[in-house]
Structure 1
C-alpha cells in the first residue's frame, strides 16, 4: 500500500547515521551533566494548545479518546518537558531528550530531534551552555561548516507595544515579519492606522548581518534603555561564540518568534553547504507561568534527520561470510562467535561474493565438520 503524505520508509546510511547521531548526542550531554528525560508520545492536546503554549491544533495528529478528550501525538518537546518537570526541585536544571515529534505543517509528518532544556539557572549561563553544547555536539559529529544566527523577541515587541493592533492584525504582522515580506508589513501597519511604525519595522527586516549591525542600532536606539539591554545580551553571546572558535555568527534584529512561548533570545544553526537548519531554540520563561512558576528557561533542539544527511558515513569494516546449510548452521554460528571480526554473515547460498572480503564454508572431512576458507 502507498504511504500517507509526509511519511517515508528509510534504509541504509540515513538510519545508521541517525543512530550514531543519537548516541553521540547522549554522550556529549552526559559529559556535560545533563539528565535524560523522555515524555509519552501521546499527550492531551490542551498541554500544547492552552493560552500560554499557544500551538495550533490543526497542525497536530489528533483523535478523541474514550472520554471525549482530544489526544495528540507529541508535536513539541519543550512544552511536554515543561509539563513533566514543573514539579521538580529547582536544583535539577539541565535536561536532555531524544525522539520524534509529529506535525502536519512540516515537510515530513515525523521528525526526529535531540535537544536540551536548562531551567532555574542564571539567564546568561543557560543561553551560553545551550550554545556551547551545540558547538560541542557539531564538533563530535565532524560537522564544521555552519553559521549561528542570533535574534531576540524583545525588539519587535518593544517597537510594537505603543501601537494598537487587533489580535488578528498582530498575528498577520508577525507572520509577515517572519517571512520578511516588506509589502505585507507595510500594508498591515498602514491599514491599522500606525503609519509611524512602518519605517521602523521595514528597516528592522533589513537589520541582518554581522555584529556591525549592533553598533549601528546602538546609536539608533541610544535613548531606548530596553533595546540597548537586548543588544548587549546578543553581543555578550557573540563574544562567547567567538571566544569558543565560532567565526560565523549572524545577527537578525528583525527576527520574530515562530512559537508563541518564546520570550527572549533566539538562536538557529544553519549548515553552509545547503542552508538547512540543523538546530533552533531560545528562551521561553513564560511557558512555566501556566504552572504558576516564575523562572528562567532556555533550550534548543537539533534536527537529527538533517544532521544524519550531512554526517560522513561510518566506514564499514570488512565483511566475512560463512557458507553453511540447515544441518551445519549451528556449527557456523559457533565459529562466528569465536571469530574476532566485527561483521560475520552466515548464508546458505552465495549470491554476490563481491559483498564480502573473505568467504568461508562449513565442510565435512573424515566424518567431522570444519570451517575452511573458500
Structure 2
C-alpha cells in the first residue's frame, strides 16, 4: 500500500537514534527538576486558531466530529500545554514533554519534538534556565558545534509603533524582515516614516552578529529607554551563555516572531555543520490572556528529527548468535541469559553468522543438549 504525501516508514539507525535522543532528554529533565506532561494528540481546532495562538488552520490535519466541530491532530505543543497548565497549581514551575506534532507546512506531516515550558518564574531566571537546559542537553548528545541566536519581539514593535501601519502592512513587513529583503522593507516603511526612521528599520535587516552588534546598539539606543532595556537584557543572556562555555552566541535584532503568541525574548539553536535549526522558542506570556490569566511563560522545543540525524551512537554491545533447532529452542533461550550486556539472537541456520562477533551452536549428545562455539 502507498502512503499519503509527507508520511514515511522508518527503520534501523534512524529509529534507534531518535529513541536515544528521547531517552537522554528524559534523563536531563529528571536531573533538572522538570515534571513530565503529555497532552492528547487530538484537540479542538479553536485551541490553536484563536486570536492569541494565531495558527493557520490550513496547515493542520483536520476533520469534523459528530457535532460539526473541527478537530485537529496536535500542531503545536506550547499552545496545548498552556491549555493544560491553567488547571495546574502555580507551584509547579517546570514542565517537559516529548512527542509528535502534525503540520502540512513541514517537509513531512509528522515531526518529533522534545521541549520544556517554564511558568510563574522571574523573566531572566526562566529564560536563562531554558537556554542552559538546551546547552546541557546538546552536551549530553555530544553535539558541540552549534550556534545560539537571541532576538526580541519588542524591537520590531517599538520601531514600528509610530508608523500606524495596517495589520496587512505589518504582516508584509514581518515577512520582508524575516526574509532579509532590505528593498521590500524600505518600500513598506518609506512614506510612513521619516527618512531617519525608515533607514533605522531597514538597517535591522543586517543587525545580526556577536557582542560587537550588542555594543553598537547599546550606543545607538542610549536615548531610547525601551530599546536600551531590551539590548541590555539580551546582553545579560548572551553573557550567561558564554560564561557557561557556549562558544558561539549571536543576536539578530531584526528577527520577527513567527507566531502571534511570542512577546519578548526569542531564541534559536543552529547546527553549524548543516545550518539546521535544532531548537527554537521564547517568551509567550500573552498566550495565557485567553484564559484571563497573567502568567510569566517561556519555553523551547528541540527538533528531535534533526538531532537524531547528528547522533553518532557507538556500538558497545557484543553480538552473539546461538544456532539451534525447534527442539532445542527452549534450551537456547535459557542460554541467552548467560550472556550479560550482549545482543543475543537465536537462529536455525548459520547463513548470517558473519554479522555476529561470536557464534554458538546447540548440539545434542547422550540425550543432553550442550553448546559449542563455532
TM-score by length of 1: 0.97
How big is the shift at 1:338?
Answer: 2.9
How big is the shift at 1:316?
Answer: 4.1
**Matching of residues 105-254 of structure 1 within 5 Å:** 105-190=105-190, 193-194=192-193, 196=195, 197-254=197-254
**Matching of residues 254-273 of structure 1 within 5 Å:** 254-273=254-273
Choose 354-363 or 278-287, whichever is displaced more.
354-363
Distance 1:341 1:54 in 2: 50
Choose 108-117 or 159-168, whichever is displaced more.
159-168
Distance 1:48 1:195 in 2: 38
How big is the shift at 1:195?
Answer: 5.6
- Is there any run of 5+ residues in structure 1 with no aligned partner, and where? none
Q: Specify the alignment match of 1:311 in structure 2.
A: 311
Distance 2:138 2:363 in 1: 50
Distance 1:121 1:222 in 2: 29
How big is the shift at 1:9?
Answer: 1.6
Residue 356 to residue 36, structure 1, CA distance change in 2 (3 Å) = same
Deviation by residue 1:170-229 (Cα, 9 ceiling, x = unmatched): 111111111111122222223x74464431221011101111112211221121100001
Q: Specify the alignment match of 1:340 in structure 2.
A: 340
Contact 2:218 2:232 survives alignment (8 Å): no
Q: Specify the alignment match of 1:69 in structure 2.
A: 69
Distance 1:314 1:307 in 2: 16
Deviation by residue 1:306-340 (Cα, 9 ceiling, x = unmatched): 11111112324221111112221111111112332
Alpha-carbon RMSD? 1.2
Secondary structure at the counterpart of residue 43 of structure 1? strand
The number of aligned residues is: 373
**Matching of residues 273-352 of structure 1 within 5 Å:** 273-352=273-352
Contact 1:13 1:313 survives alignment (8 Å): no
Secondary structure at the counterpart of residue 68 of structure 1? coil
Contact 1:24 1:140 survives alignment (8 Å): yes
Distance 2:79 2:321 in 1: 49
Distance 1:87 1:317 in 2: 45
Distance 2:220 2:301 in 1: 34
Aligned pair 1:19/2:27, yes or no?
A: no
Distance 1:230 1:150 in 2: 11
Distance 1:354 1:242 in 2: 49
How big is the shift at 1:239?
Answer: 1.2
Distance 1:176 1:5 in 2: 30
Contact 1:182 1:202 survives alignment (8 Å): yes
Distance 2:96 2:242 in 1: 25
Residue 289 to residue 372, structure 1, CA distance change in 2 (3 Å) = same
Secondary structure at the counterpart of residue 150 of structure 1? strand
